[in-house]
A = this chain, B = another copy of it.
Amino acid sequence: MGATKTEIFNPTQNELASVAKVLAHPARVAILQYISKQEGCICNDLVDVIGLSQPTISQHLNEIKKIGLLKGTFEGKNLCYCIHKEKWAELQQLFHAFFTTINQNCC
């Protein structure tokens, strides 16, 4: 037991859940908000801004990357990245669709 039974749900349900999981940590919300406030790409000050250790920030960034929400160059010194506009719009639409198809015809 203990593991989520993804196989009994449909792809839409699983996708929505896995995107929600990325947003389900305040550090990742904060990271996305901070990146979006910058004028251009963000380069290195996340560790100071967020207040978590460098490995922890790196892990959170990786979770965000895995669903395709960040783009940029991920090699070498001065890694620079920003929000992937198209993917962002796609996920916004996914959530919007979920919220609006739920009709609350009751009580």
Contact = CB atoms under 8 A, between A and B. Distances in A.
Interface string A42-59: 000000001110000000
Complex copy number for this chain: 2
- Majority-rule SS of A interface residues: helix
A60 to B, nearest CB: 11
Interface residues of A, number: 53
A44 B10 CA distance: 22
A79 interface: no
Given A5-B52, A20-B20, A103 B36 contact: yes
A16 interface: yes
A13 B28 CA distance: 9
Interface string A1-35: 00011101110011011101111111111101100
Contact of A30 (B13, B30, B41, B96): B13
Interface of A: 4-6, 8-10, 13-14, 16-18, 20-30, 32-33, 36, 38-41, 50-52, 71-72, 82-85, 88, 91-92, 95-96, 98-107
